[in-house]
Amino acid sequence: MKATVLYRIAGILLLVAAAGNAYGVSRFRQLAASMNIVQFSVGHSGFTYAQFVVALELFCSLGILFAAYLAWHLGALAQTTPRAIGALGWVLFAYQLVAVFISWIFFSGFVLLLSAGIAVCTGWATWLTTAAPRALATAE
C-alpha cells in the first residue's frame, strides 16, 4: 500500500473521530444539567463545571481536526516530495500513540479500535516515506 493512501485513510478516520467527539459533546451537554450547580469564577466571568468541560471537549475536537488536515497534507507530500515530511510524520505517529494509550485507559471498543487504526496508518505511512529515501541513497 502507498503512503499517500495510508495518510488519506488516517485523515478520514480522524474526521470520523472528530465527528464522534462532537456528537459526544452534544450528548454530554444534554446530560450535564446536574453539573450546572457547581460554579466557579475564572477572571471576570463565572462558569459552570459543565461549560468548562464542554469547552475543553470542543478544543479537543479542533485538535483532532487539525490532525486530520495534517494527515491529509502529509499524504499530498508523500506523493510529490516525500523527503519534505521529515520528522513531522513521526510526530503525528507519536500523537496517535498517545491517543491509543488514552483510549485504552478511558475508553473501549470502537474508540480504541479507531485510534489504533489511525496510529497504524500513520506509522506505516511514515515508515514507507522514510524508508524509500534511504533505499534510494544506498542504491546510489
Domain spans of the chain, in order of start: 3-134
Percent of the chain with pLDDT over 90: 56
Runs of H (alpha helix) within the chain: 3-31, 49-80, 88-106, 110-139
CB atoms within 10 A of CB 69: 13
pLDDT in tens, 44-100: 877 877 777 888 888 999 999 999 999 999 999 999 988 888 899 999 999 999 999
Residue-level pLDDT at 135: 53
Lowest mean pLDDT among 17-26, 34-43, 123-132: 34-43
Q: Which residues contact 44 (CB under 8 A, 6 or more apart)?
A: none
On whether the CB atoms of residues 40 and 46 are closer than 8 A, the answer is yes
Q: In the numeric block, which cell numbers belong to residue 39?
A: 460554579
42 DSSP β-pair partners? 45
C-alpha cell of residue 62? 479542533
49-80 and 110-139 are packed helices; what angle lies between their axes, rounded to 10 degrees?
30
Residue 38 in this model has a pLDDT that exceeds 90: no
The predicted model scores a pTM of 0.83
User: Do residues 92 and 32 touch, judged by C-beta distance below 8 A?
Assistant: no
Please, what is the Cα angle at 23 between 20 and 104, to 5 degrees? 40
**Is the pLDDT reported for residue 134 higher than 70?**
no
pLDDT at 18: 93
